[in-house]
Structure 1
């Protein structure tokens, strides 16, 4: 089953939940961020954050510290803290001259990364001496706009995708924040105690490629997935040959992807339907499992299919324009973002829930238990 929530007709650019999932932050494709509170199964507007001057491009909510970070096309980022029931902003010194495009908290929530159109990534951390958020830049060898970022579970490695058809893994080590030795930083990807050190660089796909729209580390941090505008999905396994596996799908391009487990990837985009893929590490293959959206097109007049065609023949009754243009999916327009709704727990056998927002102004929470029959043939544990 899926939960469907509508927030008007304006597109939703980005969304994020708090730790208890009773509060939701969304960007309705303008300069504001709306905070909703869930009561009796319904979302009610609690407050609006309007510090930005231009469209908010990305939001992330720190689960433990309960802080919200937002970035915008106005080249600024703010960290919002709840004090006496009021969200108060703190400006971040990004030092960029182009629009900020994406932002994510690190797993330990002691720093965050901001991608932008200035061909760099700002690694931001709090400087206690001056009581403000400062940043260090990762520049080379990025040659175009950074469109997506994601943190490795070790709080140091950072993956990014950009419009130069490349996915890269960097070291985002900050000496003042990361109290780690070189041995603690080293993973199956490698690791260096140097900010901006390039760990790996991968093309979006073989023989061409497209803009990288989303990147995501697996829960155990050994695999990296990304989706590109050439309708491809790619995975690189750091425990294997570090050579990316690319699959060109027959669907429209995906805009967002997330791991539901260490072998399952959910991708969604212009087809308005989240889709599940399985990474078989034994043979290094990416397999399409099924569409997560199992809904059927509903008749607006309530007639059955047989009665509808009988009336078309006898009475020459035609469907309304709204019914003709309605899609067979819950989302009636492009899915702009998909995120993990429930925190990943390797001990739990149930599949995680995911949430998605779209250009149709809807937010849908998907329960992946409906796909257990499809997954049974793969014998996934």
Structure 2
């Protein structure tokens, strides 16, 4: 694994280019900075300032998009074939956008069915049609985004056979908190999500849409990522990734913490000096660093190399202004 710093500002989200030589990061504001790897260092090559509000996910693209929303955009995800993308918002809807060559702009169709609050997270099924969405109404849903003008009629899936645009194929109503992140497995037959009640849940279409929820004693998890058919990595307010495994209904468990403890100076202090520091400032002055690589909440996980069927490396960005590239080993 390797640790990279992009300054002192918190990083709310990031995205890689195709060959992983450039990375776009947002320092928790309305700017996107694009860095290029030169040797061992990252050098800023672009600063995109066209947004007027804080950027929360995805990438910036200077093309007119008619999303038709009257509230903040909260998350965005390109489809696997990159012929459309989905945008969640505070307007209690999802805009599914597709390109219209005639006018050289992106149009959108809205999914509104049953959504009662802000859409917080999105992920695409491998078939480029199904879309998972987590929201602040404590629900996780799967919709069809089939647009007959730009794609062939989809075949049946384990989640359902009827695929008109906006069709609701899954609605889990008891997620226990805001659904911060969702992730399909490589096959698309399983969907994992993390909620603000510190739980991780898997819905399994191959097992009759059976839902298995694991309550953890961790702080709330903010991002989840399938890294192979049975392994799931999740991270959040505990400032480090954790490995979970799912092998079938009611067989979901937390396996281990994925981190190298950060060395601190506390170990070199005598007991007397340690208590003197406590008495002097009423705080553990020499232990103000967490024993993790990230020093604040991890906001987002992304695949760096490999596919969801076998991820080799993944990255994390956090509110400490750092990006870490992790090697995944089974």
TM-score for the superposition, normalised by structure 2: 0.94
The reply on whether 1:280 has 2:280 as its aligned counterpart is no
Counterparts of 1:317 and 1:323, CA distance in 2 = 8
Deviation at 1:361, TM superposition (A): 0.3
Alpha carbons 1:24, 1:37 under 8 Å: kept: yes
Give the structure 2 partner of residue 364 of structure 1.
324
Alpha carbons 2:136, 2:179 under 8 Å: kept: yes
SS at match of 2:47: strand
Counterparts of 1:126 and 1:202, CA distance in 2 = 31
Among candidates 103, 111, 114, match of residue 76 of structure 2:
103
Deviates more, 1:320-329 or 1:48-57: 320-329
Deviation at 1:298, TM superposition (A): 2.5
The reply on whether 1:152 has 2:113 as its aligned counterpart is no
1:264-303 equivalent positions in 2, closer than 5 A: 264-281=231-248, 284-299=250-265
Q: Which has the higher contact order (CA 8 A, sep 6+)?
A: 2
Among candidates 115, 134, 145, match of residue 161 of structure 1:
134
Alpha carbons 2:142, 2:168 under 8 Å: kept: yes
Give the structure 2 partner of residue 65 of structure 1.
none
Alpha carbons 2:185, 2:308 under 8 Å: kept: no
SS at match of 1:257: strand
1:58-207 equivalent positions in 2, closer than 5 A: 58-59=57-58, 69-70=59-60, 80=61, 89-178=62-151, 180-181=152-153, 184-205=154-175
Counterparts of 2:303 and 2:315, CA distance in 1 = 6
The reply on whether 1:309 has 2:308 as its aligned counterpart is no
Counterparts of 2:319 and 2:91, CA distance in 1 = 26
Among candidates 182, 196, 204, match of residue 229 of structure 1:
196
Give the structure 2 partner of residue 63 of structure 1.
none
Give the structure 2 partner of residue 86 of structure 1.
none
Count of residues in Structure 1 that have an aligned counterpart in Structure 2 = 327
Counterparts of 2:202 and 2:129, CA distance in 1 = 20
SS at match of 1:92: coil
Deviation at 1:309, TM superposition (A): 2.2
Give the structure 2 partner of residue 257 of structure 1.
224
SS at match of 2:8: coil
Alpha carbons 1:156, 1:185 under 8 Å: kept: no
Counterparts of 1:220 and 1:298, CA distance in 2 = 42
Counterparts of 2:30 and 2:246, CA distance in 1 = 38
Alpha carbons 2:277, 2:284 under 8 Å: kept: no
SS at match of 1:159: strand
Deviation at 1:191, TM superposition (A): 3.6
Structure 2: segments with no counterpart, 5+ residues: none
Give the structure 2 partner of residue 23 of structure 1.
22
Alpha carbons 1:292, 1:368 under 8 Å: kept: no
Deviation at 1:367, TM superposition (A): 1.0
Counterparts of 1:221 and 1:11, CA distance in 2 = 32
Superposed CA RMSD: 2.0
Deviation at 1:176, TM superposition (A): 1.3
Give the structure 2 partner of residue 323 of structure 1.
286
Deviation at 1:42, TM superposition (A): 1.1
Counterparts of 1:156 and 1:279, CA distance in 2 = 24
Counterparts of 2:164 and 2:307, CA distance in 1 = 29
- Kindly tell me: are residues 322 and 32 of structure 1, through their superposed partners in 2, closer, same or farther at Cα, counting changes over 3 Å? farther
Among candidates 333, 358, 366, match of residue 296 of structure 2:
333
After superposition, the C-alpha distances for 1:44-92 in whole angstroms (9 at most, x for unaligned) are: 1010111111111211xxxxxxxxx43xxxxxxxxx2xxxxxxxx1121
Counterparts of 1:27 and 1:101, CA distance in 2 = 13
Counterparts of 1:116 and 1:35, CA distance in 2 = 24
Counterparts of 1:220 and 1:58, CA distance in 2 = 24
